[in-house]
Each structure stands twice: as C-alpha cells, then as structure tokens.
C-alpha cells in the first residue's frame, strides 16, 4: 500500500481533535505560540487545468497551508498547488478569502510557496499572523505534535498525535501528481490524524512551532501520516523564494542499501558504502565509467554510509546540492579494487515534461524529457508522448493512441512543443491533412490528422 497524497479524496471522516488528554496539555495547546500558529494556518482552494483527455479540463481541489512571513509567503505542498494552478484562493483565519500566486514549487520535496495578495489584505484592513519554524532535527519518537489543516474541507481542524518516527525513508517515482518525490529527503511519521485536505498544513509542537508540513498518509491504514521535516522545508522555501525553483545536480546513479551485503563485498562495517544498483544509460555516471554493482565508498573524499535505506536521501542530496556542471569524484570498489571516477553533473530533470492539449485534433501530449527518454531507451529526447485522445476527433479517428510517441509532424522533427503548437495554429487557420510520425515499442507508424 502506498501513501496517498492527502488532498481531495472524499470519504467519511470522524473528526479527531485535541480536546481530551490531561489538563496541562490543554493549557499548552492554548499557549500564545499555538494561538499565533492557528492564526497563520490557511485553507487553499485551487482550480487547475489538466490536459489528459485530448482537451483542457479544469478541476478544483482543497488543501492547507501556513503563512511563514510578514510579507505573506505561504508554504504548502507541491501536490496542492503546482504550475497547473490557474486560480488560487486562500481562506485566512478570519474566514475571509484572498487571492494568492504561486512563487515556486518543488515536487521532489512536495513543497510549494505562494504569495498572498498583500495589497488586497491591506486594502481591506486585515492583519495577518505568521508562524515560525521549529527544529525538526530535535524531534524524538513519542513527542507530541499537532496537525492543523482542512481535512475533507473541514476548515481549521486540529488533530493531535506523536512523532512515530522522525526519519522515515519513502520514495515514490510518481508520488506527486505523477512527478517523482522523496529521493532527497526523509519524512516525519506521525499518528496525528492526517486526512485528504490536510496536505500542506503544518505539523507543530505544543508551542506552535512548525516542525513539518503534512503531506501524505497511508490509505486504509490507521494514522500513518507523513510530513516533510522543517529542516528540508526551510531550505527549499528559501530556494523557491529566491529562484522560483530548486536546481539540483544529477549524475544518474540509482543507489541501493547495502543492508547485509557487506560480508559479500568484504567491507568493514565501519567503512559503510553505497551500492550502485543501477546506472542510467548515457548519464554522467555511465560516461564516467561507474557500473551497477560498484560500491561507492566516498564522494569527493568524504566517506558515505548507505547501508540502510534511511541513509540514502542525504547521500543523494549531497550530489544534488552540488552546482550543475561541477565534477563529483567517486571512490568506488569493484572486484576487490578501489578506483576513482569523476562525473560532471547535469541538471536534474523530471521524467514528466510540459503538457499541452491540441483541441482541434483532440490530442493531449507531454514533452519527452531527457529522463523519460533514458528510462524508455529512446534514441533522443525528441518528440511528445500522447497522454490522451478525445473520441471522434482527428487524432482518435486516425488511430493515434495513448502512449504513442509523436516524433515528427509534417516530416518536421518535434524538438519542442512550439513546433507542434505552430502546426496546430496552421491547422486551425487552414485545416489540411497533417502527417504524424509516431513510435510505439520502437515501431514507427504514420497517421493522417484529417479535418
């Protein structure tokens, strides 16, 4: 069972809130810090565009967020507000609504930053409160925490629980609306009830300090919730505010935990090491000569210990945080020998490329990314993947189906979405038979889009 992103899944829910328990806890929950936190938590209503069925479709969703600065920066989840959002409305503690804009998002850590429309807030004479980060590194299992958010649209819901595990490894290659997540951070696990709609809301300590951003829960399980630790959230937020995106370095190693393979590889327990489970074909690591089965002992001279899955995200992050184009030195062991490899990093790219719908053709596509091309052993990153067709429209009539990769249009290679947009504009102005060259399981087919 995979943890689900906690947004817009509807189910019956019993409201769990922090009323019970010993009196001194109730008092703590009423502390000034906690009150201030409550004032900083917002409900987020999002309308976003999707391109799946050969057309543009708009969907609405609900999530949570927390104001973290006096100038109206809100932290939420990447699966709540993404670049697909066309309208974002925020409900403040005074139950009034105000617009917000996306500053940046990072699906790897499932975080997004919004900026409130402060002009409107001022014009209407409202005051906004903001919360503060706590230190997630100091959390211990059993420590009491509270989740605040909008589960199933129930605004301003507080639930209580404990930190179940402060260092949970969880990676999902399609976890954030089809985007990769979890490779570079571990998660806080809590038993505070986290339901769909809690997403993006803060996980706080008794004094109202934000130690995590609630993100996911296990579907069908009882109170297995996950939150992004504030240590990660703080740095990602700073990066998003500064650049609108998080730039990471990529070398193309898929690490595996050594677990109990040390004996086999004749390693000393103390020395650790990371198993290279796979090397992406054509990646910098492959070019540098690294191979699956190698054991990386050190990166840039610093020892790495990846015997357990929880240890892998920080190691991945070590590589990712290097500037793009820098040389990373790997000390690796192969067949009993220790060797050095130098890989020049590339910019990390998602498997999911930009999407678009060509409505006259009833054809939805996603740009083939470098990562997608490598994963699917394509010759290059040219073309677009068909993600949907609309019944009865030219693409469907011609026989184009989901999963086809369109390589050329009217014999012109599609190296960007712009090529296809231009062809579609020409078709709109003057509908004429249009030739598509597609590929599916390496088989090349030709289709005519006929007006």
Partner 1 sequence: MTSFRRCGLVLIGIAWLAVARVSAAADLPTLWAERAKAVVAVEYVTETEVDRRPTVTMGTVVDTQGTVILPPGAIDPRAALWQLKEFRVYLPGDANSAPGEYLGQDAFTGWHFVRADAALRARMVPVTNFAGPKKPAGLADFVWGIGLRGKDEDFTPYLLQSHVALVQALPQRTGIAQQEVAAPGLPVFDREGGFAGLALASFGQTFLQFSRGARSSAVMLVNVEESSAFLLAEDVLPYLGRVPKQPNGRPLAWLGAYGLEPMDREVAKFLKLSTQSGAVVSEVLEGSPAEKAGLRARDIVLAVDRKPLPQLKPDSVVVRYLEREIDRRAPGDALPLSVLRGAERLELNVVLGEQPKLVREAERKYFDRLGVTVREFVYGDAVERRARTADSAGVVVHFVKPSSPVAVAGLRFDDWIKEIDGAEVKTFAEAVQRLAEIDRDGNRPEFVILVGRGGETAVLRVKLK
**Catalytic amino acids?**
79, 110, 199
Tell how strand 302-303 and strand 295-299 pair up: antiparallel
Minimum CB separation from partner 1 for residue 8, in Å?
Answer: 27
Which residue, 32 or 443, is less far from partner 1 as judged by CB? 443
Which backbone phi and psi does 17 adopt, to 5 degrees? Answer: -140, 165
Measured between alpha carbons, how far is 68 from 52 in angstroms, rounded to an integer? 34
- Name the residue nearer to partner 1 (CB basis): 327 or 412: 412
Q: Are 330 and 293 in contact (CB under 8 A)?
A: no
Using CA atoms, how far apart are residues 144 and 126, in angstroms rounded to an integer? 32
Report the alpha-carbon distance of residue 265 to residue 294 in Å, rounded: 10
Alpha carbons 140 and 195: distance in angstroms, whole number: 23
Instruction: CB nearer to partner 1: give 375 or 380.
Output: 375
Q: Give 97's strand partners.
A: 91
Smallest gap from residue 250 Cβ to partner 1 (A): 16
Q: Which of 193, 155, 207, 204 is nearest to 27 (CA)?
A: 207
User: What's the number of CA atoms in the CB half-sphere (13 Å) around residue 350?
Assistant: 24
CB of 293 to partner 1, least distance (A): 4
- The nearest distance, CB 383 to partner 1, in angstroms, is 13
Contacts with partner 1 by CB under 8 A lie at 254, 256, 261, 264-265, 275, 277-279, 281, 292-293, 334-336, 374-377, 398-399, 411, 433, 435, 437, 439, 442-448, 450
Which alpha helices (H) appear in 283-388, and where do they start and end?
Answer: 284-288, 312-320, 370-375
Cβ neighbours of 292 (radius 10 Å): 13
410-424: buried (b, 16+ CB within 10 Å) or exposed (e) per residue?
eeeebeebebbeebb
How many CB atoms are located within 10 Å of the residue 245 CB? Answer: 13
Q: What is the Cα Rg of the chain in Å?
A: 24
Which residue, 122 or 291, has its beta carbon nearer to partner 1? 291
- Residue 16 or residue 398: which is nearer to partner 1 going by CB? 398
Tell the smallest beta-carbon distance from residue 237 to partner 1 (Å): 33
Q: For residue 409, which phi and psi values (nearest 5 degrees)?
A: -130, 125
Of the two residues 45 and 437, which places its CB atom closer to partner 1 in the complex? 437
- The terminus-to-terminus CA distance of the chain in angstroms comes to 46
Query: Residue 311 corresponds to which tokens in the numbers above?
Result: 């240890």
Considering beta carbons, is residue 222 or 377 the nearer one to partner 1? 377
Among 109, 106, 71, 66, residue whose Cα is nearest residue 209: 66
Minimum distance from CB of 444 to partner 1 (Å)?
Answer: 4
Give the count of beta carbons closer than 10 Å to the beta carbon of residue 274.
26
**Beta carbon of residue 253, minimum distance to partner 1 (angstroms, whole number):** 11
**Is 60:45 a contact under the CB 8 Å cutoff?**
yes
CB of 407 to partner 1, least distance (A): 9
In the complex with partner 1, the residue whose CB is nearer, 9 or 446, is: 446
């Amino acid at each position: 069972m995979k943890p689900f992103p906690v947004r817009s899944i509807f189910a019956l829910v019993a409201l769990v809130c922090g009323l019970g328990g010993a009196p001194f806890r109730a008092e703590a929950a009423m502390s000034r810090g906690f009150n201030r936190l409550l004032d900083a938590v917002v409900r987020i209503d999002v309308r976003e565009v999707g391109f799946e069925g050969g057309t543009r479709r708009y969907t609405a969703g609900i999530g949570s967020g927390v104001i973290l600065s006096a100038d109206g920066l809100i932290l939420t989840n990447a699966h709540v507000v993404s670049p697909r959002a066309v309208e974002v409305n925020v409900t403040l503690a005074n139950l009034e609504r105000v617009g917000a804009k996306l500053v940046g998002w990072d699906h790897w850590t499932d975080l997004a930053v919004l900026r409130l429309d402060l002009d409107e807030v001022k014009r209407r004479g409202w005051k906004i409160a903001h919360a503060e980060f706590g230190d997630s590194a100091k959390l211990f299992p059993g420590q009491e925490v509270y989740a605040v958010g909008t589960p199933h649209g129930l605004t301003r819901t507080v639930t209580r629980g404990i930190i179940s595990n402060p260092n949970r490894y969880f990676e999902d290659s399609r976890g954030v609306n089809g985007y990769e997540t979890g490779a570079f951070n571990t998660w806080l696990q809590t038993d505070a009830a986290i339901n769909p709609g809690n997403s993006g809301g803060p996980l706080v300590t008794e004094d109202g300090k934000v130690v995590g951003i609630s993100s996911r829960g296990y579907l069908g399980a009882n109170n297995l919730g996950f939150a992004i630790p504030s240590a990660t959230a703080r740095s990602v937020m700073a990066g998003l505010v500064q650049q609108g995106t998080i730039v990471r370095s990529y070398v193309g190693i898929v690490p595996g935990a050594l677990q109990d393979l040390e004996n086999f590889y004749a390693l000393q327990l103390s020395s650790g090491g990371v198993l290279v489970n796979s090397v992406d074909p054509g990646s910098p690591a492959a070019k540098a000569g690294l191979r699956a089965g190698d054991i990386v002992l050190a990166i840039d001279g610093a020892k790495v210990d990846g015997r357990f899955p929880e240890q892998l995200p920080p190691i991945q992050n070590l590589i990712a945080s290097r500037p793009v184009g820098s040389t990373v030195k790997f000390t690796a062991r192969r067949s009993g020998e220790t060797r050095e490899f130098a890989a020049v990093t590339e910019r990390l790219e998602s498997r999911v490329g930009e999407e678009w719908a060509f409505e006259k053709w009833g054809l939805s596509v996603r740009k083939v990314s470098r990562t997608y091309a490598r994963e699917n052993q394509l010759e290059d990153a040219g073309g677009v993947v068909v993600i949907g067709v609309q019944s009865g429209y030219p693409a469907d009539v011609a026989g184009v189906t989901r999963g086809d990769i369109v390589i050329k249009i009217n014999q012109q290679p599609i190296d960007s979405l712009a090529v296809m947009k231009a062809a579609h504009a020409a078709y709109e102005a003057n509908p004429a038979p249009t030739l598509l060259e597609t590929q599916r399981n390496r088989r090349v087919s030709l289709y005519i889009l006929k007006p």
